[in-house]
Structure 1
Amino acid sequence: MNKAHFPFSAVCGQDTFKLALVLAAINPAIGGVVISGPRGSAKSTLARGLADLLPAHLSSDTTTDSNSKSELLDAEFVTLPLGASEEMLLGTLDLEHVLNEKTVRFSPGLLSKADGGVLYVDEVNLLPDNLVDLLLDVATSGENRVERDGISHSHRSEFLLVGTMNPDEGELRPQLHDRFGLSVQLDNQYSPLERVEIVKRREAFDQNSTAFCQAYAAEQELLLTRIKKARSVIADVKCDDQLRLVIAERCSEAQVDGLRADIVWYRAACAHAALNQRSDLSIEDIDAVEELVLAHRRKAVSPSQQKNDSRPPQEPPSQEPPSAPENKHGFQRPDDSQRQAPKLGDKRQQDPESEGEWGSMQPQQQKTLETVALDLAQNSQEALFSSSVKTRSVVAPELSNRPDWFSTLLSSLPSWPPKQLKFKSRRQSEDLLHLVLLDTSASTLKAEGFAHAKGALLQISNQAYLAREQLALFGFGNNQVDTLLPKLRAPKELGKWLDNLPAGGGTPMREVFIQAKTYLEKLQRQNPQLKIHSYVLTDGRSSSSLEGIQLPGELVWIDTELSTVKRGKGQRFAEELNATYLSLAGAC
């Protein structure tokens, strides 16, 4: 007997999440739903409850027996564990059949079991990227094709993919995030009355799940009927070109990449119209799904979003010219005419570089200098880029502890059982991440230090790109830490983007190291084999202490202060962190 799930209709609140799941159930071609939210926000409860609302389906034949007949099956809720392998997901050789019958047969995986139901991935952001790629490919095509271990097999695999993630455990790679059709951002901020009602319903379900489910049976049946009816009429929903143009214009305003947003938006809007028994698409349907489609793709706020923004507008920066003229290096000193004399004991009197005049500057830009020639292997026993240490020598592949059954069968024919097992080779390539901490505070503008730092960053990015390695970029300035580039494959062109990156404000030195340490430790929990090379590009002008902070992996401190007499503390900081110290003064 299957364990009862908490009814979908009995969950309090989370109307946006419910809508996203229902739309994806009506049209699985939308491409799945990814939900980001903290613990205790009903992510898994709603995902499990959705399986009860999916119509029964005909089974797909995953065997080679032509006499097998399809039967009507209820939708299943299938969970993909974090430790799953490709064989568990896709399917593999049926070893029992091979041992008994001496013939090759396919053994279905989780994708076959999930056909017609829900495939649920908890903490999808911690799942290896290759498995997420495979999942999304099959979810889009509706077919699982396996070509491995001497097997050539395909079967239907139409399921609703639901991925949940806790942003505190790390972000999903942007390319993978984009491939999910809809995205929902949840919070667990409930009113006191809602919290009381949620607890009461949970207690009632735990005490007598059968009676509780029967109490919501009518609502469940009504929603199931609406989904079935919407599935039957969605193909007849019409959309005129004017509304298609509205979708295209809003996607353009949001500066989304590619056309996936346009396609998903149209499909989701049609599903919304079908759910409400409308044969013609309306602007209401387009508005209803906008945030679900653009939440994880938007790069710019659209005018429609700005109208709904209740935050007060920020005051424009002062238009008064600075008291000091622009100097030959292209930066402006802040207007200090209104500054008061510091009181005795004021920190700013003791350390003018920490806040003072630099911290009061408005952000300014400096063009990237591409002439920086930094020796990243200097003073290091090993070059920091894998491409610089690769050799042409042939090395025997290291074997893993995973048996290669197909190779074992081939090597043992015609005798059986095999005299020796063959094992699969361990993956040779190592994941390598280059994390760059770029000082974007105002003091780096002096003597074009920020421009030189951008040049060094560009060199790091270019070498990582050639080595097909990953890059992440944190900026620390304006008294805050920003993720300027999330973890991604190093881009081919970064120069133009860097030209528009401004610098200004104070230097939150300790804060950026604390955030970097937390970020890297999470990545290492996700992938223990991940190699990390970190770089700090800063002039070292900060009164912060870095005592007690150690970043995992290798660390290089690149001093961007170009003057002969150093006012910053770069070398001292590098010694504190046990980092390799380099200076841009000799590289420009």
Structure 2
Amino acid sequence: MDNSTEDIIFPFSAVQGQKQFKLALLLATVNPLIGGVLISGPRGCAKSTLARAVADLLPVTEYTTSQFVTLPLGASEEMLIGTLDLDHILKGKQVKFSPGLLQKAHTGVLYVDEVNLLPDHLVDQILDVASSGVNIVERDGVSHRHDARFTLIGTMNPDEGELRPQLKDRFGLMVELDNQYSIEERINIIKTRQAFELDKVAFCDEYQAPQISLQQQINDAQELLPKVTCDDACLIEIATRCQQANVDGLRADIMMHRASLTHAAWCGRTTVLLQDIDQVAPLVLLHRSQQSGTPPNSSSGPDQPNKSPTEQNRNGGFSRPKPPQENDSESQASETKSDQQSQSNDSQEQAESGGEWGAMPPQSGEQQKTASQPVQLPELQHTPLTKVINGNVLQGELQQNAQGKTAKGLRQSSLNSHKPDWFNTLSKSLGQWPPAQFSFKKAKTGQAKHHLILLDTSASTLTEGLSSLAKSVVMNIVDSAYLKREKISLLGFGNNQIQTLIKAGKAPKKVQMLLDDINAVGGTPLRQVLEKALQSIKQLRIQTPDLALFCYLITDGRSRADINDLKLQVPTLLVDVEKTTVKRGRGTTLAAQLDAQYFALSS
């Protein structure tokens, strides 16, 4: 293939389907102050293809050159916002600002792939600049500001971890994609892609007219946008929809108003109509709406409508059998005996096939109100498998020797980090290279902590009030994390499924209502929840390498799963909530297999 054609991008207008995705990108291109577009979906949904293609539609002027800038996953803060120009300092002996990717993306597109895996502080900075259009740098002795108006596009695969709700809320628009296509759509996509690969130049020529039309429409909409107005009736409609969606704060209202103005300009009108609000409302509310009063885990089957917990228990949900009445007929007694015999046979078959202890068919469970109990958990300890080795050392002149000195013989303070403070270093040794003395940035005084809680919600936890006891342990961990401003995530495992009850983020102030809505049902998918925990730990370490992780497994130990090959490699505490004197569960065995501490709550 000719190298000159390798940089040719697949045309935006040639992408099949994805109507909502295209609309969101076009609106953000017309008005970058919308705050960017977050695209959530699995692999193969044309996320990257459309993101790159929209850059070709940006209007071109003789004064600006729009660029498509990709933020690498391992980008540093200096690479993003800019830093000192060391070469100019050494040669010209003057402080000069070296721009970062935010300035390079000005008037263009900043594309952040796998934004959910970026460190939170980088995502914060990107969203701050995207919403204001200005990058302000106050660091390393530099005071600098520059325009940075760009179309922000962030993509994420939900299978690889969620984005913090606080960060997700700051994206102006969001689109959720799937990779479910009809046979006809799949064939059209294959044919279109094949035609592009065979002759890129001819293919792009074929779509030149619609591309130019889109480009002109974007330019016209940008010129019309300042003239668009929104009357009180539409403002009331916007406020009503946001209130009904139970959104937090007023950002949704502001974004829906801004997106409605942009959509009206895109359609060539100077007045916002109801149809503009209809088009943008799903994009604005998708990641912000909250369903008040909805239980965190619904175990309704496909043929069973969602019901409140009370209705579930009243209409066929899990409940203990009632004592027989004196006026029961002989036929009813016979029927009850038959049902009990059938259940016994089912349980025996499940046990013989290696099922979980206390397992039940998937069904609704019985709620238990959490009675707060004082719980004193032991302090988590590192084991040989969980020791953290800090191997970050400077190379060359900055590398420390065994006595804690640098190669120049200067001792580095324990209050300093391994990162050099270039401004102070060069200021003290201006004109000398290598510098006579290195200065280091101050080390962080604390370490961020994250508590991963795995709560057993299987049917066996219903007996003897174990559900209330287990939830009290969760409340103890969450309350402590809240007071220390630490982060948590909570996974429930029961009824042969795993549910994210609390997504990774700051510990909430109150969790009792959430815990009271949890139904304890079904079997114990212990191995599956540990595999999920391993995946979560890996993602958290990518996002925040210095994060201190702790795991709590709260269970009665009634599981036959073999987990000897699953090592979480973070300090783990298995809290055994089984209250019997003679343990029927395998708490101690499971703790040994996980290389975890064991703590029997009954003791």
Shift of 1:475: 0.4
- 2:377 alignment counterpart: 375
- 2:226 alignment counterpart: 235
- 2:588 alignment counterpart: 571
Confirm or deny: 8 A CA contact 1:11 1:46 kept in the other structure.
yes
- 1:582 alignment counterpart: 599
Confirm or deny: 8 A CA contact 1:441 1:476 kept in the other structure.
yes
Superposed counterparts of 1:487-506, under 5 Å: 487-506=504-523
Residue of 482, 486, 492 corresponding to 1:465 = 482
- 1:47 alignment counterpart: 51
Confirm or deny: 8 A CA contact 1:78 1:110 kept in the other structure.
yes
Confirm or deny: 8 A CA contact 2:111 2:154 kept in the other structure.
yes
Any idea what the Cα deviations from partners look like across 1:115-162, whole Å, max 9, x if unmatched? 111001111111111111110000011100011111111111111111
Shift of 1:446: 2.2
Residue of 9, 13, 16 corresponding to 2:13 = 9
User: Does 2:177 correspond to 1:160?
Assistant: no
User: Structure 1 unaligned runs (5+)?
Assistant: 58-70, 304-310, 326-334, 387-393
Aligned equivalents of 1:238, 1:338: Cα separation in 2: 68
Aligned equivalents of 2:246, 2:440: Cα separation in 1: 48
User: Does 2:281 correspond to 1:294?
Assistant: no
Structure 1 window deviating more from structure 2 (536-545 vs 169-178): it is 536-545
Any idea what the Cα deviations from partners look like across 1:34-56, whole Å, max 9, x if unmatched? 11222222111111111111123
Aligned residues: 547
Change (3 A) 1:336 1:569: farther
Change (3 A) 1:6 1:301: farther
Q: Structure 1 counterpart of 2:459, which letter?
A: A
Tell me the TM-score normalized by structure 1.
0.85
Aligned equivalents of 2:181, 2:383: Cα separation in 1: 55
- State the SS of the aligned residue for 1:53: coil
Q: Structure 1 counterpart of 2:215, which letter?
A: L
Q: Structure 2 counterpart of 1:491, which letter?
A: P
Shift of 1:243: 2.9
- State the SS of the aligned residue for 1:146: strand
Residue of 561, 569, 574 corresponding to 1:552 = 569
User: Does 2:464 correspond to 1:447?
Assistant: yes
Superposed counterparts of 1:337-416, under 5 Å: 338-341=339-342, 342-343=344-345, 346-348=348-350, 354=356, 362-377=364-379, 396-400=414-418, 402-413=419-430
Any idea what the Cα deviations from partners look like across 1:290-316, whole Å, max 9, x if unmatched? 22112222222999xxxxxxx876276
Residue of 24, 31, 53 corresponding to 2:28 = 24
Shift of 1:79: 1.0
- 1:36 alignment counterpart: 40
Superposed counterparts of 1:135-214, under 5 Å: 135-214=126-205
User: Does 2:548 correspond to 1:531?
Assistant: yes
Q: Structure 1 counterpart of 2:374, which letter?
A: V
Residue of 292, 305, 308 corresponding to 1:314 = 305
- 1:324 alignment counterpart: 322
Aligned equivalents of 1:532, 1:248: Cα separation in 2: 41
Tell me the TM-score normalized by structure 2.
0.83
Any idea what the Cα deviations from partners look like across 1:37-92, whole Å, max 9, x if unmatched? 222221111111111111236xxxxxxxxxxxxx6113111111112111111111
Any idea what the Cα deviations from partners look like across 1:416-467, whole Å, max 9, x if unmatched? 7732333434545434321100112232222221112111111111222233
Any idea what the Cα deviations from partners look like across 1:299-348, whole Å, max 9, x if unmatched? 22999xxxxxxx876276453786337xxxxxxxxx99833343499335
User: Does 2:244 correspond to 1:253?
Assistant: yes
Residue of 103, 114, 120 corresponding to 2:94 = 103
Aligned equivalents of 1:527, 1:356: Cα separation in 2: 39
Change (3 A) 1:363 1:344: closer
Aligned equivalents of 1:397, 1:10: Cα separation in 2: 57
- State the SS of the aligned residue for 1:366: coil
Aligned equivalents of 2:122, 2:340: Cα separation in 1: 58
Structure 1 window deviating more from structure 2 (280-289 vs 452-461): it is 280-289
Any idea what the Cα deviations from partners look like across 1:454-503, whole Å, max 9, x if unmatched? 11111111222233322110001222110011111222332333333332
Confirm or deny: 8 A CA contact 1:142 1:157 kept in the other structure.
yes
Confirm or deny: 8 A CA contact 2:380 2:571 kept in the other structure.
no
- 1:478 alignment counterpart: 495
Confirm or deny: 8 A CA contact 2:471 2:515 kept in the other structure.
yes
Aligned equivalents of 2:198, 2:377: Cα separation in 1: 68
Shift of 1:381: 7.9
Shift of 1:561: 1.8
Shift of 1:567: 2.8
- 2:263 alignment counterpart: 272
Aligned equivalents of 1:501, 1:344: Cα separation in 2: 26
- 1:308 alignment counterpart: none
Confirm or deny: 8 A CA contact 1:112 1:155 kept in the other structure.
yes
- 1:331 alignment counterpart: none
Aligned equivalents of 1:26, 1:336: Cα separation in 2: 71
Change (3 A) 1:411 1:346: same
Shift of 1:223: 0.8
Q: Which runs of 4+ in 1 moved over 6 A?
A: 349-353, 378-382, 414-417
- 1:332 alignment counterpart: none
Change (3 A) 1:280 1:448: same
- 2:560 alignment counterpart: 543
- 2:539 alignment counterpart: 522
Aligned equivalents of 1:571, 1:337: Cα separation in 2: 38
Aligned equivalents of 1:469, 1:40: Cα separation in 2: 36
Change (3 A) 1:395 1:496: farther
Change (3 A) 1:349 1:157: closer
Aligned equivalents of 2:346, 2:291: Cα separation in 1: 46
Change (3 A) 1:170 1:381: closer
Any idea what the Cα deviations from partners look like across 1:341-389, whole Å, max 9, x if unmatched? 434993356799947686576323223333322232278789x9x9xxx
Aligned equivalents of 1:439, 1:297: Cα separation in 2: 29
- State the SS of the aligned residue for 1:73: coil
User: Structure 2 unaligned runs (5+)?
Assistant: 295-301, 324-335, 389-411
Shift of 1:523: 3.0
Q: Structure 1 counterpart of 2:348, which letter?
A: D
Structure 1 window deviating more from structure 2 (81-90 vs 493-502): it is 493-502
Aligned equivalents of 1:245, 1:457: Cα separation in 2: 42
Change (3 A) 1:297 1:107: same
Q: Structure 1 counterpart of 2:85, which letter?
A: D
Change (3 A) 1:157 1:76: same
Shift of 1:415: 6.7
Change (3 A) 1:41 1:362: closer
Cα-Cα RMSD: 3.2
- 2:276 alignment counterpart: 285
Q: Structure 1 counterpart of 2:584, which letter?
A: R
Identity of aligned residues (%): 48
- 2:333 alignment counterpart: none
